[in-house]
Structure 1
Amino acid sequence: MFAIALQQKKYKTYTLSDLAFNSSINVVPERGGIITSWCVKNQELLFLDAKIFENPELTVRGGIPILFPICGNLPNNKYKYNGNNYFLKQHGFAQDLPWEVIGNSNKDRASITLVLTSNRLTRTFYPFDFKLTFTYQLKGNSLEIFQTYTNLSNTQRMPFSTGLHPYFLAPNKHQLHFNIPSMQYMDRNTGTLHDNDCKFDPKLDEVDAIFEKLTGLATTVYDRSRGLKITLSYTSAYSTIVLWTVKNQDFYCLEPWTAPCNSLNTGYRIVDLEPGSSCEMLIRLTATFV
């Protein structure tokens, strides 16, 4: 049995549930369309800094923020288009704007569909007309995120990159083992390349590793302390995985990106939508207790 409930907390929160499986997600449309909680068998899988989340002036740390129209940052937060300079903060603006709910269903699964459309504010940072449509679907131990990106312009192409920034709860990061399908990664703190040995040192102040040239469409994490396996799978548009965590924080992030930092300037792996066209992408999260 699937259910959808709406509560007025600090923000309106939709809870989608699979009651037979004891799984659920919480979705907060007005706070960037973010998923703030994902439970499987009543076990919370996501980290959320509640104090930051409740302050609308701060960027959320936790849940599953949406990255658009860039992933990562730009040099001096600046890019150039048609001879004009524009400014975008790290990861873009989609995670900070209110999204609109346009539908939900509890037939065969629990789902909710959200939309973000360009407006006068977004065009000051990103001079394109767009519509983003995200559908979150929950069934059993899987969470699927269907995405449609539409260029509403009749005349100009629309370049962008996109991604997600899941914060996974991990009280004991010493017990994590990663299987990321890439031969090497770059340490973004030092700019150095390393062979991918599927390990990282949780005693470091920060781990910030970017994996490109992916050889598969799924990344797996084993959390031995919780007896938990999380599989992150994605369509081929996602070319990059970023692993990020900081010392003394009970989370790690595995971020699927379509392109690395600064692609809006370099054009590297950028999605470049033709006028009036759309493209679709899918990310699936699956949690198994073993």
Structure 2
Amino acid sequence: MALHKKKPAALGIDLATTQESSSHGSIQVSDDSQFVTLSLASGASAKVLLYGATVVSWKIQDRELLWLSSASALDGSKAVRGGIPLVFPVFGPPPAGTAVEKLAQHGFARTSKWNLLGRAEDEEGSVRVEFGLSSDSLDEETKAKWPYAFGLIYSVTLRENTLETKILVQNPGSEAFDFNVLFHTYLRIPDVSTIGVQGLNSLTYRDKTLGGSEHQESSEVIKITSQTDRVYKSAPDAITVSESDKPLYTVTKTGLNDVVLWNPYSDGVEKIGDWEPKEGYKNMVCVEAGSVASWQTLEPEATWEGGVVHKAHL
């Protein structure tokens, strides 16, 4: 893959004065410089919290398409429960004996304050913002737990009926490092009992509700009827969430190997303190594109890129 010379800045553009409008739409930073809101003339919008660079809202014509817990912290005190948290450099509890073993579950990207790097629009009517995070941005405690030089550029692009999230991982250092990356997308759905997930049939998956044992998927349409936590390996690029054979969402990934399917269901939410309302599991399903079944290795002076397009069928 070609090297990208662009690097996350130590300090982004002036948040206090960042407001831009055009015939396509607008990008606006909140008064407290904690959120960036993208909007289009069509009525589509997205809201990104700089803490974790977490997308916390995606709307089309005032219809919310992401699920967010009403008890989720949005003040930077802990990772957001819902939206699209970004997992890096480890997925799940860090395995013992690895370079990430001292990190918290799901790593530090979702609990770090990102810099706003820039904004753009194109002739097709999209608006985009870019965020940066680097090893220089981390506190000393986190650096001690994962001491590699790195740079991340994360972009969020809003179009009329799609939301694209993309990440570029850079290794400016002299030592290779391994990492996982995942877009932990909470899709809002009408009722979990009526939806099905298609595109994963015949794949091998690791079932985390069964101790991580491996199984082969045998269903053309996967129904969520109990606590579900599966890592599907080498998944196809496009996964569809449907209701009564009508597509609700298509999740299309690029440069990413795997798909995680997750719903905590009624028994699982009781163990999640910031999950509200408790019956909210009925209105969400996580279809998460990532590379998590095995490690990605990034050599010195190399880059890696992956992303996902979420398309809503309204």
Q: Scaled by the length of structure 1, what TM-score is found?
A: 0.85
Q: Distance in 2 between matches of 1:286 and 1:232?
A: 6
2:183 equivalent to 1:164: yes
- What is the identity, as a one-letter code, of the residue corresponding to 1:238? L
Does structure 2 conserve the Cα–Cα contact (< 8 Å) formed by 1:147 and 1:282?
yes
Which of 224, 236, 243 lines up with 2:261 in the alignment?
243
2:112 equivalent to 1:97: yes
Residue 266 (structure 1) aligns with: none
2:293 equivalent to 1:276: no
Give 3-state SS (helix, strand or coil) of 1:52's partner: coil
C-alpha deviation, 1:207, in angstroms: 1.2
Q: Gapped runs of 5+ residues in structure 2?
A: 1-23, 266-278
Residue 112 (structure 1) aligns with: 129
Q: Comparing 155-164 with 52-61, which one deviates more in the overlay? A: 52-61
Does structure 2 conserve the Cα–Cα contact (< 8 Å) formed by 1:79 and 1:87?
no
Deviations 1:129-152 (A, max 9, x none): 100001111111111222211002
C-alpha deviation, 1:79, in angstroms: 3.5
Residue 199 (structure 1) aligns with: 222
2:231 equivalent to 1:210: yes
Percent identity, aligned pairs only, is 24
Q: Comparing 32-41 with 51-60, which one deviates more in the overlay? A: 51-60
Q: Gapped runs of 5+ residues in structure 1?
A: 261-268
C-alpha deviation, 1:239, in angstroms: 1.6
- What is the identity, as a one-letter code, of the residue corresponding to 2:286? C
Does structure 1 conserve the Cα–Cα contact (< 8 Å) formed by 2:202 and 2:218?
yes
* Residues 174, 233 of structure 1: alpha-carbon distance in 2 compared, 3 angstrom cutoff: same
* Larger relative strand fraction: 1
* Residues 40, 123 of structure 1: alpha-carbon distance in 2 compared, 3 angstrom cutoff: same
Deviating beyond 4 angstroms after TM superposition, the runs of 4 or more aligned structure 1 residues are none
C-alpha deviation, 1:210, in angstroms: 1.9
Residue 256 (structure 1) aligns with: 289
C-alpha deviation, 1:223, in angstroms: 3.4
Residue 41 (structure 1) aligns with: 61
Does structure 2 conserve the Cα–Cα contact (< 8 Å) formed by 1:159 and 1:273?
yes
Does structure 1 conserve the Cα–Cα contact (< 8 Å) formed by 2:256 and 2:307?
no
C-alpha deviation, 1:228, in angstroms: 5.2
* Residues 41, 275 of structure 1: alpha-carbon distance in 2 compared, 3 angstrom cutoff: same
Q: Distance in 2 between matches of 1:44 and 1:164?
A: 18
Q: Distance in 2 between matches of 1:196 and 1:61?
A: 31
* Residues 189, 86 of structure 1: alpha-carbon distance in 2 compared, 3 angstrom cutoff: closer
Which of 20, 26, 37 lines up with 1:15 in the alignment?
37
Q: How many residues align?
A: 267
Which of 26, 49, 61 lines up with 1:28 in the alignment?
49
Give 3-state SS (helix, strand or coil) of 1:124's partner: helix
- What is the identity, as a one-letter code, of the residue corresponding to 2:218? N
Q: Distance in 2 between matches of 1:182 and 1:71?
A: 23
Deviations 1:174-218 (A, max 9, x none): 11111133414332211352433122243x2x211221132x211
Residue 312 (structure 2) aligns with: 287
* Residues 146, 186 of structure 1: alpha-carbon distance in 2 compared, 3 angstrom cutoff: closer
C-alpha deviation, 1:55, in angstroms: 5.0
Residue 275 (structure 2) aligns with: none
Deviations 1:9-35 (A, max 9, x none): 6x6211111112x11100111x20000
